[in-house]
Structure 1
Amino acid sequence: MSQLKKIGILGGTFDPPHIGHLKLASHFAKLLNLDVLLLVPSGEPWQKGSGITSAEVRLQLTEAAGIDLARALLYLNIPTQVGVDRIELDRAGPSYAIDTAKALRERFGPGTSLIWLMGVDSFNALPTWHSWQGLTDYVNLAVASRPNHELAIETNSAILDLLAKHQTKDIKALEKSASGHIYVDETLAVDLSSTALRHQIQTSNQNSELSEQIPSHTLEIIAKLGLYQ
């Protein structure tokens, strides 16, 4: 029996993409033995309000970050292929994760393990997502811990119920099943915020510190276009 193909999906506004995104991506690429990892910038991030950088520019920043991610995986001897997918940019209207999950499931078929990657802060906010209850019908979820963020099992009954139905302690379950499982990994601790980085770019003249927080190719485009000034 042929092994299921494993595809990781890391969505986000990516305004801008930062080292935290890349560390989460590379961590799960290794942990889950991903064949492919897709970076999916949102087209219309409906929960982010106004003042968002244009979708095409964020796509350009994400593509640049993808170059650094691919090089990092090569250096770490992780054979995961990296792709940047404009599926949400090409779809009209608000960018709902459920629509992306459905479309990717249709594209890759029922035998592929699709694994949606996210930080625990995003997971805690899942009940605010559009049609969030149906997400596990199409994908697995891999959730990474973040400093100063805990699973909202004591304050959010919806999260508690979701974990009761779908959480697995066996990471191999995400490889063996195309969808329906949630795995919480507590070994990664990255606490970077795109909002904080935008503010830092506005107020900092020191590129050395930013170079430790933003992928080099992305930072070059930010400087060239004069973004976040």
Structure 2
Amino acid sequence: MSTIKKIGILGGIFDPPHIGHLKLATHFAKLLHLDALLLIPSGEPWQKGFGITPAEIRLQLTEAAGIDLARAFLYLKISTQVGIDRIEVDRAGPSYAIDTVKALRERFGESASLIWLMGADSLHVLPSWNSWDKLSQYVNFAVATRPQHDLNEPTSPEVSQFLQEHQTKDAAALENQAAGLIYIDESVNVDLSSTALRNRLKSSSRSTVASEQIPTHTLEIITNLGLYQ
């Protein structure tokens, strides 16, 4: 991937990966003409406490989701490469985004546009991330709207200031600048939560929920391993 210039980064706990993740990834891969998209499951998600599925299993689930994502790209004629990255699983200690973006910047070079993809809910809590104010030195941000997370409503002073300093209305600007910009996309609305999905998988409607909201290959592993019972 040494020649790649536009890399999307979709990090998360992926417990489990779901259709919402793939919808967000597909939208931005097409919109931003990404050369590659990295799905990065967290190793030790420091903000989530206990009860998280082991990292190696979540990595396996993410790899399976990557197969469905790559097939979707092929069908939609999106040329973006899909990669599953172990960087946070292999790194000891809490999984901080700042450590990840520093390592990716070193890997891809100073001129590549690194674009961190997220939902509006993550943007709202960005100031709680470790060294959050330094992230824009290494990456751009592309944010998808989500229900109950209206970015037009007053948010924290830190996020408001961040948007004032870094927001662009032009998605193409992210393709041409290595870091430091944030673009908010209101045309895609991702309304799935891994936490809510896990709870529904434990209910009587498990089979219906699973087939509608979980990628095919991921669901196969969940079924075989008996996860989320």
TM norm structure 2: 0.96
User: 1:140 deviation in Å?
Assistant: 0.2
- Match of 1:203, SS state, is coil
- Match of 2:159, SS state, is helix
Structure 1 residues 116, 61: CA separation in 2 closer, same or farther (over 3 Å shift)?
Answer: same
Is contact 1:152-1:159 (8 Å) kept?
no
Structure 1 residues 227, 4: CA separation in 2 closer, same or farther (over 3 Å shift)?
Answer: closer
Gaps of 5+ in 2: none
User: 1:204 deviation in Å?
Assistant: 2.8
Alignment of 1:1-229 (within 5 A): 5-151=5-151, 154-229=154-229
User: 1:206 deviation in Å?
Assistant: 4.5
User: 1:149 deviation in Å?
Assistant: 1.2
Q: In structure 1, what is the Cα distance between the partners aligned to 2:206 and 2:106?
A: 46
Is contact 1:11-1:42 (8 Å) kept?
yes
- What CA deviation, in whole Å up to 9, does each residue of 1:54-111 have, x standing for no partner? 0000000000000000001111111101000000011110000000000000000001
Q: In structure 1, what is the Cα distance between the partners aligned to 2:227 and 2:106?
A: 36
RMSD, matched Cα: 1.3
User: 1:210 deviation in Å?
Assistant: 1.6
- Match of 1:188, SS state, is strand
Q: In structure 1, what is the Cα distance between the partners aligned to 2:62 and 2:149?
A: 25
- Match of 1:50, SS state, is coil
> Partner letter of residue 106 of structure 1?
E
User: 1:172 deviation in Å?
Assistant: 1.4
- Match of 2:148, SS state, is coil
Gaps of 5+ in 1: none
Q: In structure 2, what is the Cα distance between the partners aligned to 1:172 and 1:107?
A: 23
- Match of 1:151, SS state, is coil
User: 1:154 deviation in Å?
Assistant: 1.3
Q: In structure 2, what is the Cα distance between the partners aligned to 1:137 and 1:6?
A: 16
User: 1:209 deviation in Å?
Assistant: 3.3
Instruction: State, as a whole percentage, how many aligned pairs show the same letter.
Output: 70
> Partner letter of residue 188 of structure 1?
V
> Partner letter of residue 162 of structure 2?
L
Is contact 1:118-1:143 (8 Å) kept?
yes
> Partner letter of residue 51 of structure 1?
G
- Match of 1:95, SS state, is coil
